[in-house]
Structure 1
């Protein structure tokens, strides 16, 4: 919550909207960190970095001295910023500086004296800092030593004095109420507790026990993870994991992130520092921590506040319009680091970091990438796709050939609901085009779709709206209610009048964008068009095509190139463009 900083990493990107939290996410590290790393002459000591600066990578580069791990090969396009100035670093750092200071209200001309009095009181008059949590923390827990400190609070080990946790070691995140100088800061604390409480239960999510408060602090009691950070493990191994060891890590990360996304929660600060090992055992499970920057997100909603850690922030976050796909980018960065020991996007200045994220391509040419399996490289590339629409979801990543395990259960993927919702509302002509595309999908895609169809528990080979509703309710939590995930069922109402067999389910649940990210997209599109020519293509006018795509007369000059002059049917170009659709910017973005 608030600006991103961690005692073991470079600081993070602050909210350009000055809309997020005002206490430190680093204090939620629910673990005792026993190992400290000596500063490296090459990389410096990131742990001693001020919370408003960015550092060089602590990982050794496999490239020759002086060569950056991610050379700035700028694609032939320009990035249009929604808001000036062009460089993302300036507004981000300005927002970070604003966060470090109490927010001052505007001064009404007619009431200067009242405002001056309020400023003398720290600008906090009228703020309700009562959370309704238990007041008996001291009676239930005995605080131990401090194990982590941030700008707005700290984390201590503790031991239960009575009740179910009697004698059990726990971690306590202590957030000072004096640091909560705005209503936003107070709401951020409330939301963090709400998310931890609602999501608690997944094996790879830090256990939440309770929250308390007194006149001075809020106390968040969580599981004590004594195995240290994933970052510690990476550094202790010299920065690189074998593929098999990396798989063990990534599967756990994807599993818990898939769970969060199904619940309508986006983490927004996934990085090695925020994954802790439960114990010191070599095969200890991991726990994701620090939901201080996390938020609930409704179906089809976009967030706009810039938060996260610099090296792991997704391009669309810097463009101020993003959803759960931003977490998948961060997982792609983590995977890249595990496999090669260096960051895919790196620079010595804050503006350089963001410029690299926006414009540079990750380096897959230098060592050790020539020896990494093609499946692993494809996995990373499909997560580090700058077009968030082409990025794999967490569930799709779990079924990717690099990670696929027939013995491991596949989670329910919420993106299926979004795609089916669009399909049941589509025109017959678009359905015909999608049906042709479904005839050309790969076996890898079919594996994922079969798993999703099975999770819907079809009756006599068919699924209906009731199947979608029942499957979603099976995983329902308070988080799902808060993020209004169930609203998607109302948007799928046309499905109440029909049923889908597996063949039509495949038509409904495929994404053109996801298929476009595959290396074999050209072959898929060509095969699909051949089927479309036989079964679905028909004479269509420019006006009708524009109507199919919800476009106005201004699009006619563009669309006429999609229709063959010989028979007035869609050409191959027109077919692929029609499948792809035209992105229309909407205002469904949360401004905080």
Structure 2
């Protein structure tokens, strides 16, 4: 293994000499580090400290590419080339035309932009910055409460230091303090990013694999975020120290911890949006030390009334690191994701909790084979690979990896976010069944049951037939979720069961995300109860089942039950109303109906998940 390091490599656009700028968490800007990356003991720190890509060229130094001259790996292939191992980072490419156009819009063309942070609101950094309110309302007595020690991590926007408590419960307690400079907060958005990070850290409490937040302070110059100290280094460092690959048994231990804490965050309505090996720290140097998820600088709350974050503006600011997005329905204008871990739907400007699952899939792929699932010589090529290519499961060591492990990774790296397992569901996958770990309550269950309760009798009959065709593997997850609702003595659950299950797991973050509002949409359950059989019908996802190799068998078996109990004559008009589509869809729906007026097998499977049409064809109620 070659060493992983970064260095300053000036990169400019050939036409306008626009410098490549790496934009990181909270709208912060970070130039390529000039010194080698630390090899071991980095603790809680800013994302920018490792924001330059630690991933390397796939070819050993001094060796030519095995591809013909002038030909680079094409992300448009059916799969990405294998064996993209970690060695040395490639320099960032010159900005592509669309990046140049975006920067020109921000600064004016062809005027040379001034050095310094690129303002997120499209305006130049001018004296009006003095009007920005940089008072966060945090404690002003940092120096009286804490004693700072040596620096342990640095980014362009701030740095992290050892610290020790001087008084109270934290007296003589070893801590980590993230120090964020107010001078570098050049926009209202960057200020809000810091405010939101503290709010999420403060609101998310109680999970063993989540970094513990203690305090937030400020003075005229800085904001201080006080957290527990992790002295075992990053997951990335351990991957590199193992030559880039874990055994399946060791990988399971890591992945279970990741899934557990992410399921917890998702239940609270928080999406992390920057899951990567650098953001998982070990508590100690011990091989079996617990991991902690850190850095919520890119995180945000998911609003249940608008499960997907829809964006009206999409700009590649720097393809080497991040994507900048702006939300329509609610204000969200921060940096989202890191190149190798970004989900396809993020690039399509519409995403939710499932984007974190994709990132876990990338991490799992790396742990099991030591290489990246999506690779290209340029970062823009990486994004094309994410959108178009399939991970390589053919090259060494994949032939020696268990079929269960490969299935696990594939069900996380499905480009259709609807077909991915949730974090809680992944913990019940057969590959992890040998691991002793609790199954957490899944927020996905609430969303699916909500949809079921508002479905028509015809749709509920179709789902009940589907639930009868489930295999034991699928039932393990549903049975675990049903038991977490603590059924009544009669073996059924009511709205109160769902409400109490949420309360048992609630943090302040859940209130902030308005996850409990889902219960309002489950009001029909106030007047009746649901047994396990109906719960299975309500809580299954057709899309997830379609991702299984056995879907055809499941679908045909379900259709037999539907024929016996639920299939009845249905008109094209009624079917269109069921699916909430207009007359332009009638020609498609006619192909779903047999000569006897009932749904065919094709019509049944299509009806289960609806029809995808252009927005102009959709009937708006």
Q: Answer whether TM exceeds 0.5 for this pair.
A: yes
Local SS of the residue matching 1:219? strand
Aligned to 2:92: none
CA distance in 2, matches of 1:21, 1:294: 10
CA distance in 2, matches of 1:294, 1:96: 25
Aligned to 1:66: 66
Aligned to 2:419: 390
CA distance in 1, matches of 2:582, 2:155: 53
CA distance in 2, matches of 1:201, 1:69: 48
Say if 2:462 is the partner of 1:445. Answer: no
Structure number with higher relative contact order (C-alpha < 8 Å, ≥ 6 residues apart):
1
1:8/1:273 contact within 8 Å kept:
no
Aligned to 1:43: none
Aligned to 2:531: 501
Aligned to 2:350: 321
Match of 2:376 among 347, 365, 375: 347
1:243/1:339 contact within 8 Å kept:
yes
CA distance in 1, matches of 2:462, 2:414: 25
2:441/2:484 contact within 8 Å kept:
yes
* Aligned residue pair count: 538
Local SS of the residue matching 2:26? coil
Structure 1 unaligned runs (5+)?
1-5, 12-17, 27-31, 38-46, 77-87, 107-117, 587-592
Aligned to 1:578: 607
2:117/2:186 contact within 8 Å kept:
no
CA distance in 1, matches of 2:505, 2:386: 35
Local SS of the residue matching 1:352? helix
1:33/1:228 contact within 8 Å kept:
no
Deviation at 1:391, TM superposition (A): 0.4
5 Å-filtered alignment, 1:66-465, equals 66=66, 72=75, 74=77, 100-102=117-119, 120-121=126-127, 123-299=128-304, 300-303=306-309, 304=311, 305=325, 307-405=336-434, 407-459=436-488, 460-465=490-495
CA distance in 2, matches of 1:73, 1:350: 14
Deviations 1:293-331 (A, max 9, x none): 011111142224261110000000011100010000000
Deviations 1:204-251 (A, max 9, x none): 011111010000000001111110000100000000100000000000
1:346/1:353 contact within 8 Å kept:
yes
Closer, same or farther: CA 450–57 of 1 in aligned 2, 3 Å: farther
Say if 2:519 is the partner of 1:489. Answer: yes
Say if 2:592 is the partner of 1:553. Answer: no
Deviation at 1:124, TM superposition (A): 1.0
CA distance in 2, matches of 1:266, 1:184: 19
CA distance in 1, matches of 2:404, 2:258: 18
Deviations 1:478-503 (A, max 9, x none): 10011100110001111111110000
Q: Which moved more, 1:336-345 or 1:551-560?
A: 551-560
CA distance in 1, matches of 2:72, 2:508: 43
Closer, same or farther: CA 159–70 of 1 in aligned 2, 3 Å: farther
Aligned to 2:552: 522
Deviation at 1:356, TM superposition (A): 0.6
Closer, same or farther: CA 338–96 of 1 in aligned 2, 3 Å: farther
2:41/2:234 contact within 8 Å kept:
no
Closer, same or farther: CA 105–247 of 1 in aligned 2, 3 Å: closer
Deviation at 1:9, TM superposition (A): 12
CA distance in 2, matches of 1:104, 1:55: 31
CA distance in 2, matches of 1:10, 1:514: 45
Local SS of the residue matching 1:463? coil
Closer, same or farther: CA 8–380 of 1 in aligned 2, 3 Å: farther
CA distance in 2, matches of 1:229, 1:260: 20
1:345/1:356 contact within 8 Å kept:
yes
Deviation at 1:570, TM superposition (A): 0.7
**TM-score scaled to structure 1, two decimals?**
0.84
Deviations 1:419-466 (A, max 9, x none): 101111111111111111111111111000000000001102010111
Match of 1:531 among 558, 561, 580: 561
Deviation at 1:532, TM superposition (A): 0.9
1:59/1:343 contact within 8 Å kept:
no
Say if 2:502 is the partner of 1:472. Answer: yes
1:456/1:463 contact within 8 Å kept:
yes
Structure 2 unaligned runs (5+)?
10-22, 32-36, 80-94, 107-115, 312-324, 326-334, 616-621
CA distance in 1, matches of 2:373, 2:73: 6
1:54/1:349 contact within 8 Å kept:
no
Local SS of the residue matching 2:446? helix
CA distance in 2, matches of 1:50, 1:283: 24
1:7/1:48 contact within 8 Å kept:
no
Closer, same or farther: CA 91–392 of 1 in aligned 2, 3 Å: farther
CA distance in 1, matches of 2:376, 2:416: 22
Match of 1:544 among 565, 568, 574: 574
